[in-house]
A and B are shown apart, each in its own frame.
Chain A
């Protein structure tokens, strides 16, 4: 059976991570299985963890009165859920629900922040990886703002 360290090295988010850093991170990590339909995080709640998704899909969204949850993004294997744990005030911006049974490695945020403070090199590496993901998400969101497939005015 894979150890958490093996699972993390094969995850895209941690690709190429220094072995010593990986060792430190696993100290804050554990495997979780999230039932299909379960709520994982809630808007406004304390951001005390993040998840490296190994399988299954997660819907990220907002709940509007009378409209249920409106999905704004979906996360899949090799994605990570959550970055608000890294920046004060550590509050989630969106809801996340499991669309399938989700297998993930979850990290305790307080533990992680402690390790990052103790080892700035690790902190920088992790912050860079999160920043890269934020960049990708921002680009994807900008492309959606273009409304590429929208109808031009019929002329």
Chain B
């Protein structure tokens, strides 16, 4: 993190409000955690009052619930059920529209939706890492996705270094957190050592620096910076899960026929919840949506899951017919083949797939079970 300087500020709750105001003044829609339907959700807000004050969470396999904290923390919980991905990569996106001219000739119009300018407030380190993963998938591609690229270009990220990991977190294993290291405009650490929370705010980009310099607030002291560092140091010690990542892609590769895949297949419902909750899962279907008037027809990209039976359908049948092969596809992709495709892990250690699996399947346990009997399944690919 930045050293003591005039551009790392120490703010109180009101100070945080001025940050939100300054961001909104710059034309951004602020998306931040708020409580909705008994869960934390990332929604548009206009004031710090909408943040979940004094709310914590309890997460475990197939388990998520809010709890009351004994302090006024605004960021006292871990990853929320639904990730930020829906704002950059919406669940349904019109790619283009087809219509006929007066001669019946087909014409195609690029979908020209207005580009929202989002400021994400409260992005955890694991979630920031997930955005950087999607940057590689969608923006770094040979054919960048225009929707993602445009929204991403306009995005302002206010990270919150994590002080409240949950029972399903393992960002330290994945090297993504709990302290965000890159890719944010502003980085905030919430300090709970005083009666009301304080916020140590650092700049991570020129845009973030410009915004910080516009605020009238006192610089953070050396003690503030040490206290901020301590927050994530303590969080590091409280990870709910651990995943051994040494040689992981190779380990999975040589165990493609491991009996553990049968074991997990007997439990997995193939519901796809894990893929919907996962901040890096990017699979989609292209579907046809004819306008009711019959005059135009649109090509729409919708989130899809590799767990659905016909995901790998080719004429004649489905390639991944069994749940065993579909779970294997998902997990080896997240932890293994993603590296070869995108030069990074496909898992950032947020734990969502564990909490949101209805039968509590735990990716870290499955990987550990295979490692424990490495070689029982021969696989050569």
Residues of the B chain whose Cβ atoms lie less than 8 Å from the Cβ of A152: 315-317
Residues of the A chain whose Cβ atoms lie less than 8 Å from the Cβ of B316: 152
- Binary interface encoding of chain A residues 58-83 relative to chain B, with 1 for a CB under 8 A from any of its CBs, else 0: 00000000000000000000000000
- Binary interface encoding of chain B residues 313-325 relative to chain A, with 1 for a CB under 8 A from any of its CBs, else 0: 0011100000000
Residues of the A chain whose Cβ atoms lie less than 8 Å from the Cβ of B317: 152
Report how far A152 CA is from B316 CA in the complex, Å: 5
Residues of the A chain whose Cβ atoms lie less than 8 Å from the Cβ of B315: 152, 155
Residue of A nearest to B317 (CB): A152
Residues of the B chain whose Cβ atoms lie less than 8 Å from the Cβ of A155: 315
Residue of B nearest to A150 (CB): B316
Report whether over half of chain A's contact residues are helix, strand or loop; otherwise say mixed: loop
Within the complex, the shortest CB–CB distance from B262 to chain A, in Å, comes to: 28
Interface residues on B, range: under 10
Report how far A152 CA is from B315 CA in the complex, Å: 7
- Binary interface encoding of chain A residues 144-155 relative to chain B, with 1 for a CB under 8 A from any of its CBs, else 0: 000000001001
Within the complex, the shortest CB–CB distance from A61 to chain B, in Å, comes to: 30
Residue of B nearest to A153 (CB): B316
Report how far A155 CA is from B315 CA in the complex, Å: 8
Within the complex, the shortest CB–CB distance from A62 to chain B, in Å, comes to: 30
Within the complex, the shortest CB–CB distance from B65 to chain A, in Å, comes to: 44
Within the complex, the shortest CB–CB distance from A81 to chain B, in Å, comes to: 36
Within the complex, the shortest CB–CB distance from B217 to chain A, in Å, comes to: 64
Within the complex, the shortest CB–CB distance from A52 to chain B, in Å, comes to: 41
Interface residues of A in 117-155 (CB under 8 A from B): 152, 155
Residue of B nearest to A152 (CB): B316
Within the complex, the shortest CB–CB distance from B311 to chain A, in Å, comes to: 15
- Binary interface encoding of chain A residues 95-132 relative to chain B, with 1 for a CB under 8 A from any of its CBs, else 0: 00000000000000000000000000000000000000
Within the complex, the shortest CB–CB distance from A147 to chain B, in Å, comes to: 11
Report how far A155 CA is from B317 CA in the complex, Å: 10
Residue of A nearest to B316 (CB): A152
Interface residues of B in 97-113 (CB under 8 A from A): none
Interface residues of B in 283-335 (CB under 8 A from A): 315-317
Report how far A152 CA is from B317 CA in the complex, Å: 9
Residue of A nearest to B314 (CB): A152
Interface residues of B in 9-39 (CB under 8 A from A): none
Within the complex, the shortest CB–CB distance from A155 to chain B, in Å, comes to: 7
Within the complex, the shortest CB–CB distance from B317 to chain A, in Å, comes to: 7
Report how far A133 CA is from B317 CA in the complex, Å: 34
Within the complex, the shortest CB–CB distance from A148 to chain B, in Å, comes to: 10
Report how far A87 CA is from B315 CA in the complex, Å: 45
Residue of A nearest to B315 (CB): A152
Within the complex, the shortest CB–CB distance from A80 to chain B, in Å, comes to: 36
Within the complex, the shortest CB–CB distance from B323 to chain A, in Å, comes to: 22
Report how far A136 CA is from B323 CA in the complex, Å: 36
Within the complex, the shortest CB–CB distance from A118 to chain B, in Å, comes to: 50
Report how far A152 CA is from B313 CA in the complex, Å: 13
Within the complex, the shortest CB–CB distance from A117 to chain B, in Å, comes to: 48
Report how far A155 CA is from B316 CA in the complex, Å: 9
Within the complex, the shortest CB–CB distance from A110 to chain B, in Å, comes to: 51
Within the complex, the shortest CB–CB distance from A73 to chain B, in Å, comes to: 26
Within the complex, the shortest CB–CB distance from B332 to chain A, in Å, comes to: 28
Within the complex, the shortest CB–CB distance from A153 to chain B, in Å, comes to: 9
- Binary interface encoding of chain B residues 29-66 relative to chain A, with 1 for a CB under 8 A from any of its CBs, else 0: 00000000000000000000000000000000000000
Within the complex, the shortest CB–CB distance from B73 to chain A, in Å, comes to: 54
Residue of B nearest to A154 (CB): B315
Within the complex, the shortest CB–CB distance from A67 to chain B, in Å, comes to: 30
Residue of A nearest to B313 (CB): A155
Report how far A77 CA is from B317 CA in the complex, Å: 39
Within the complex, the shortest CB–CB distance from A15 to chain B, in Å, comes to: 33
Report how far A151 CA is from B316 CA in the complex, Å: 8
Within the complex, the shortest CB–CB distance from A25 to chain B, in Å, comes to: 44
Report how far A155 CA is from B310 CA in the complex, Å: 12
Within the complex, the shortest CB–CB distance from B318 to chain A, in Å, comes to: 11
Within the complex, the shortest CB–CB distance from A37 to chain B, in Å, comes to: 41
Within the complex, the shortest CB–CB distance from B373 to chain A, in Å, comes to: 36
Q: List 4 A-B contacts (CB under 8 A).
A: A152-B315, A152-B316, A152-B317, A155-B315
Which 4 pairs across A and B sit closest by C-beta, in order of nearness? Answer: A152-B316, A152-B315, A155-B315, A152-B317
